Structure 1
């Protein structure tokens, strides 16, 4: 897992435990998760995203992944990969001050 920050968005790169096989022979082995913006979270309950509820994370991931995952691909993710994505997403949403206080 690698964290990077660009002028526009923070990203995390995850290596999938179980690669995604796409039609046409493409295999996705890593995902970049972009820090969600307010528009990406529209229609979702923040509490459900922070609680890592499957339905909320499944709606959000196609909006913030590179390469862009399709909903059916999210539905077919290995549960361990879904949890890894959900943990990173929840980490994006925790205020910096709260993270700093945990580290102290």
Structure 2
């Protein structure tokens, strides 16, 4: 049987129209100017224990500014300096702090708090 003779129609595969969302990306309300470059978003990664040296976990969980200034340069891309972090919009620092605080919670705690689907 020839495929042209069949009444069946196979729909072409549609690509997923929703782009992959990077849950660790923070889009900045106020971009950071670095020379001729403008940084409008940063991507954070979960720190390992060694990258948390010199900070109190409870202070980091509470989004203490001094703790964030120490840890964020170690875990963000592009890498920000302490001066850039202390100069950023407080709303942007809060968004970054919320991501960092989330990294400190176990999956079961996130599920219990309804933070994970």
Q: With the length of structure 2 as denominator, give the TM-score of the two structures.
A: 0.77
Separation in structure 2 between the aligned mates of residue 47 and residue 79 of structure 1, nearest angstrom: 20
* Within-5 A mapping of 1:67-78: 67-78=78-89
Matched, 1:20 2:32: yes
Unaligned runs of 5+ residues in structure 2 are 1-20
Separation in structure 1 between the aligned mates of residue 81 and residue 67 of structure 2, nearest angstrom: 15
Unaligned runs of 5+ residues in structure 1 are 4-11
Instruction: Choose between structure 1 and 2: higher helix proportion.
Output: 1
Separation in structure 2 between the aligned mates of residue 40 and residue 59 of structure 1, nearest angstrom: 9
Kindly state the Cα deviation for residue 2 of structure 1 after the two structures are TM-superposed: 2.5
User: Which residue pairs with 2:61 in the alignment?
Assistant: 50
Per-residue CA distance 1:31-79 (angstroms, 9 max, x = gap): 0011111111011100000011111011111111100001110111100
Secondary structure of 1:2's partner?
coil
Instruction: Choose between structure 1 and 2: higher strand proportion.
Output: 1
Separation in structure 2 between the aligned mates of residue 44 and residue 28 of structure 1, nearest angstrom: 26
User: Which residue pairs with 2:5 in the alignment?
Assistant: none
Kindly state the Cα deviation for residue 100 of structure 1 after the two structures are TM-superposed: 1.2
Larger Rg: 1 or 2?
2
